[in-house]
């Protein structure tokens, strides 16, 4: 007979930002929650660690904008519960060639979502930011209110603390090796490498770059999620100019379309190369040109390695694993290098799916697993 300390309403596997935010949601709603992590909590071997992630509502795909707006509210809600800040507001500047189809799609989705925005010429961008940002001839800038920076490790810690305060059980150094149906009483058995087993009515799998492997073991099918090793670089602002670029002032967070640094090297998450990081030459040149020589483009002062979990269409996977598990096991993965900002709403959705079998007020068709059976490349995007 298993002891009742091993029985839960929801077992969440993987304590990166997605699992931690999900555990917070289920615990806060009064459900007995267990959060399991294979490494130490707040480790640096996944995708959710470090000093900064940006948040923006300017997506070429119009279905992300409303989710970002909900996330802003949920970030503020969680901050008010914990009593400190993990999100720091700024304007967002997107920049790219006026004729670029992605830039045009971003403007189109702002219009469709009625998201306040301004499209600026090259000269207007220079004026708007008092010469701190320069864009090339033929480029435009798109400014919205909805930008900012999130502190990732602090945010993961915040959700874990809030989950704990709401009664969740958190266990680290617990590698989940099996997830099985309980054929006798229903529900799910979750087995850990050390031999422990836990029973849950429902299970949520949020294992980042390990998703393909665990889903293959548990569900017997291959999800097209490719881990990439990539890096975040931090650059020094030259002496005397720091305040003009600081968080809390009028300097924006930004995204530049057409700078080929959003990528990385395919990797096995358990046999990482741990370097060399992304090529720096194009980035150095871009920094020198864009920030009028005020940011030291000689090289980053710090670099942090991290993993992306890429789907072919760069859309998330949020769905039930299906098969013999029906609606009892939910997957959240394939966040393709842009999931952090949306983690509060992803946690809300994963909790909804696990607890009630459906997500309130959200269209999840773009995030279904079945899209890869219909087309191995996933969702079609007319701006690519």
Ligand X SMILES: Cc1cc2nc3c(=O)[nH]c(=O)nc-3n(C[C@H](O)[C@H](O)[C@H](O)COP(=O)(O)OP(=O)(O)OC[C@H]3O[C@@H](n4cnc5c(N)ncnc54)[C@H](O)[C@@H]3O)c2cc1C
* Shortest Cβ 240–ligand X spacing (Å): 28
* Shortest Cβ 384–ligand X spacing (Å): 20
201 SS3 class: strand
Question: Six-digit token pair at 80?
Answer: 């008010």
The strand pair at 197-205 and 117-120 is best described as: unpaired
Contacts of 150 (CB under 8 A, 6+ apart): 52, 53, 54, 55, 75, 86, 87, 88, 340, 341
State how far the Cα of 57 lies from the Cα of 36, in Å rounded to an integer: 31
In the bound complex, which residue of the shown chain has the CB atom lying closest to ligand X?
16
Nearer to ligand X among residue 131 and residue 220 (C-beta) = 220
* Shortest Cβ 24–ligand X spacing (Å): 13
State how far the Cα of 354 lies from the Cα of 160, in Å rounded to an integer: 19
* Shortest Cβ 229–ligand X spacing (Å): 8
Nearer to ligand X among residue 122 and residue 295 (C-beta) = 295
Listed in order, strand segments (DSSP E) in 125-219 are: 139-150, 169-171, 176-181, 188-192, 197-205
* Shortest Cβ 20–ligand X spacing (Å): 7
Which residues are at the interface with ligand X (CB under 6 A)? 13-19, 36-39, 46-48, 53-54, 175-176, 206-210, 214, 230, 232, 306-308, 335, 337-341
Nearer to ligand X among residue 126 and residue 172 (C-beta) = 172
CA 43 to chain centre: 16
Nearer to ligand X among residue 263 and residue 376 (C-beta) = 263
Nearer to ligand X among residue 126 and residue 175 (C-beta) = 175
């Amino acid at each position: 007979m298993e002891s009742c300390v091993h029985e839960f309403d929801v077992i969440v596997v993987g304590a990166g930002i997605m699992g931690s935010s999900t555990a917070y949601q289920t615990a806060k709603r009064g459900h007995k929650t267990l959060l399991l992590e294979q490494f130490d909590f707040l480790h640096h071997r996944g995708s959710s660690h470090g000093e900064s992630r940006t948040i923006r509502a300017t997506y070429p795909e119009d279905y992300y904008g409303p989710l970002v707006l909900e996330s802003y509210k949920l970030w503020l809600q969680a901050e008010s519960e914990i009593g400190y800040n993990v999100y720091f507001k700024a304007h967002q500047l997107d920049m790219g060639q006026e004729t670029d189809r992605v830039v045009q799609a971003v403007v189109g989705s702002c219009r469709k979502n009625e998201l306040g925005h301004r499209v600026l010429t090259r000269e207007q961008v220079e004026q708007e930011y008092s010469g701190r940002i320069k864009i090339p001839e033929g480029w435009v800038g798109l400014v919205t209110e909805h930008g900012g920076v999130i502190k990732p490790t602090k945010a993961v810690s915040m959700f874990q603390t809030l989950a704990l305060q709401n009664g969740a059980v958190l266990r680290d150094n617990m590698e989940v090796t099996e997830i099985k149906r309980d054929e006798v009483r229903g529900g799910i058995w979750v087995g850990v490498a050390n031999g422990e087993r836990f029973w849950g009515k429902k299970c949520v799998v949020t294992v980042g770059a390990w998703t393909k492997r665990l889903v293959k073991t548990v569900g017997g099918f291959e999800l097209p999620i490719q881990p990439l090793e990539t890096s975040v670089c931090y650059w020094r602002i030259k002496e005397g100019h720091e305040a003009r670029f600081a968080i809390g002032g009028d300097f924006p967070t930004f995204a530049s379309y057409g700078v080929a640094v959003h990528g990385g090297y395919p990797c096995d998450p358990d046999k990482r190369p741990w370097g060399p990081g992304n090529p720096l030459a194009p980035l150095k040149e871009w920094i020198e040109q864009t920030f009028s020589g005020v940011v030291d483009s000689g090289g980053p002062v710090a670099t942090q390695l991290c993993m992306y979990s890429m789907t072919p269409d760069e859309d998330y996977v949020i769905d039930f694993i299906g098969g013999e598990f029906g609606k009892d096991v939910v997957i959240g993965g394939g966040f393709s290098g842009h999931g952090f900002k949306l983690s509060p709403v992803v946690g809300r959705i994963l909790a909804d799916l696990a607890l009630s079998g459906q997500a309130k007020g959200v269209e999840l068709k773009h995030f279904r697993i079945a899209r890869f059976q219909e087309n191995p490349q996933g969702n079609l995007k007319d701006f690519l």
